[in-house]
Amino acid sequence: MKRITIVGGGSSAHVLAPFFSSLNYEVTVLTRRPEVWKQKVSVEFQDEFGKLKRQVKGTLKKITSDTAEAVNRADIIILCLPVAKYFNMLMRIAEHLDKDREVFIGMLYGQGAVDLMFEEVKNKFNLKNMVYFSYGLIPFICRTKKYGEIGITYGAKTNNVVAVNPKEKFNELEEIFLSKVCYYFFNDEKVHQSDNFISLTLSASNQLIHISRMYGLYFKNKDGWEKEEDVPYFYKDYDEYSAKIFEDLDEDYEKIREKIRKMYPNEDFKYMTRYLELVNFSYGFSNKNIQESFTTSKTLNQIKTPIMLEDDRYVLDKKSRFFTDDIFYGLAIAKWFAIEYDIEVPTIDTLLKWTEEYLGITILKDGHLNEHCVYNHIEIGIPPKYKTFSKDNLIK
């Protein structure tokens, strides 16, 4: 029997926990709130209107806040956390791993140069038998219905991309983990191996989607909204201005991608793509423009804009992971590449400067990234942060 540990209580955890426990895996949940989780867990498969189609139920082996207890016997460890918390959690986990046992450690979303995080952890703790991996995007649409007990999924992406190191471990990983998500529960979902992690870091995923939309909403509603019901939906009400910002942002990223392709002509970067190419591949769509890809989505139309109440007005939530994840571990990394390669990225600059003003922080100093920038206890995650980082070893 395989032992899998799920770290954190994100929506993806509420799908994976019942999935794998229903398949007779020994599932442990590592959480700060063990008293909230139930032994019996389930995930509901719902259609776009919230109608229940079927349900998968499972029983957890263990629920704990003790890191050592949760991971020391695990065969597979999955982080279901905000990107900004990945590195510190990997450091905590690594202390308790048996160096002589093979263990697979990964996450369902791999922006933020996660390979640099893994390499530092692997070297510091001499974890020669650690196999690390990440999806490029979360493979299924998921929500939490009842924390610690019930998750919801609206379906899976048609095609998913995963990077793994060592590369030759992909087939084994697919057999023990990926196939159980990709084929067993969704049938038509497929997984493809990315040759490198940088393709995940620089693809047009959440880091571009979220922050360009937040800026688009702010630009048209600088004073916020008087009533909560007046706040536009994040995707269903996606407008032309937000789409234009996103398009320009994707163009900035493409300059960086193209530079990397030229620097490493013998590497395979087929999964390092522009947004429309990525979304059409992932979902099997044929969208012709960015705005249409969001407004017509059947799985995204009920997602609300993250807001907070400030001075009797509803404003964009300043504590949202759309800032700490998608700026600190998204656009800041792209800007770092742009500075290294002397590439002009005007839209990235605009969004970073807006974030500085909106949050009251300093991300850029004299044209350089402020490596000591901290917001909401989160440190900026640019490549030089990691001791094992080398400019000569960007592709892994």
**pLDDT tens track for 41-91:** 999 999 877 889 999 999 999 999 999 999 999 999 999 999 999 999 999
Distances from the Cα of 389 to the Cα of 74, 93, 169, 356, angstroms: 28, 21, 23, 26
Please check the confidence at residue 393 and state whether its pLDDT lies above 80: no
Strand residues in 94-189 grouped as ranges (E):
103-107, 130-135, 140-146, 150-156, 159-165
Question: What tens digit of pLDDT does each residue of 358-376 get?
Answer: 999 999 988 889 989 999 9
Q: How many CB atoms lie within 10 A of CB 187?
A: 8
Taking the C-alpha atoms of residue 143 and residue 140, their distance in angstroms, rounded to an integer, is: 10
What is the model's pTM? 0.94
pLDDT tens sequence across 172-225: 999 999 999 988 999 878 999 999 999 999 998 889 999 999 999 999 999 999
Q: List phi, psi (to 5°) of 313.
A: -130, 145
User: What's the whole-number mean pLDDT along residues 92-116?
Assistant: 94
Cβ atoms within 10 Å, residue 180: 19
Query: β-strands 40-46, 150-156: how paired?
Result: parallel
- Give the model's pLDDT for residue 340: 94
pLDDT higher than threshold 90 for residue 333: yes
Q: What is the mean pLDDT of the chain?
A: 94
What pLDDT score was predicted for residue 303? 86
Report how far apart, in Å, the C-alpha atoms of 304 and of each of 77, 231, 235, 247, 301 are.
Answer: 30, 8, 8, 22, 8
Structural domains in the chain, sorted by start: 3-193 (3.40.50.720), 203-393 (1.10.1040.10)
Which pLDDT score is estimated for 80? 97
CA separation for the pair 189, 159 (Å, rounded) = 6
Confidence of residue 241 (pLDDT cuts 50, 70, 90): very high
Whole-angstrom distance, CA of residue 83 vs CA of residue 339: 23
Query: Which letter does DSSP use for residue 231 in this model?
Result: S
Q: Is the pLDDT of residue 159 over 80?
A: yes
d(CA 15, CA 321): 20
- Cα separation, 95 vs 127, in Å, equals 10
Task: Give the separation between CA 395 and CA 261, rounded to whole angstroms.
Answer: 11
pLDDT at 199: 95
Asked, as a colleague might, if the bond just before 82 is cis with ω within 30 of 0, I would say no
Kindly list the distances between the CA atom of residue 103 and the CA atoms of 26, 72, 133, 158, 373, in Å, as whole numbers in the listed order: 15, 10, 11, 28, 33
Is 228 exposed, middle or buried, given 0-12, 13-18 or 19+ CB atoms closer than 10 A? exposed
pLDDT number for residue 396: 66
161-173 confidence digits (pLDDT tens): 999 999 999 999 9
> Rounded to whole angstroms, how far apart are CA atoms 306 and 323?
11
Per-residue pLDDT, averaged over 253-281, amounts to: 94
Say what percent of the chain tops pLDDT 70: 100
d(CA 336, CA 298): 36
How many whole angstroms separate alpha carbon 54 and alpha carbon 46? 7
In terms of pLDDT, which residue wins out, 134 or 387? 134
Q: Using 50, 70 and 90 to split pLDDT, how confident is the model at 292?
A: confident
CA dihedral 257, 348, 275, 213 (to 10 degrees): 170
Is residue 27 within 8 A of residue 60, CB to CB? The reply is yes
| Range with lowest mean pLDDT among 48-52, 91-95, 225-229, 343-347 | 48-52
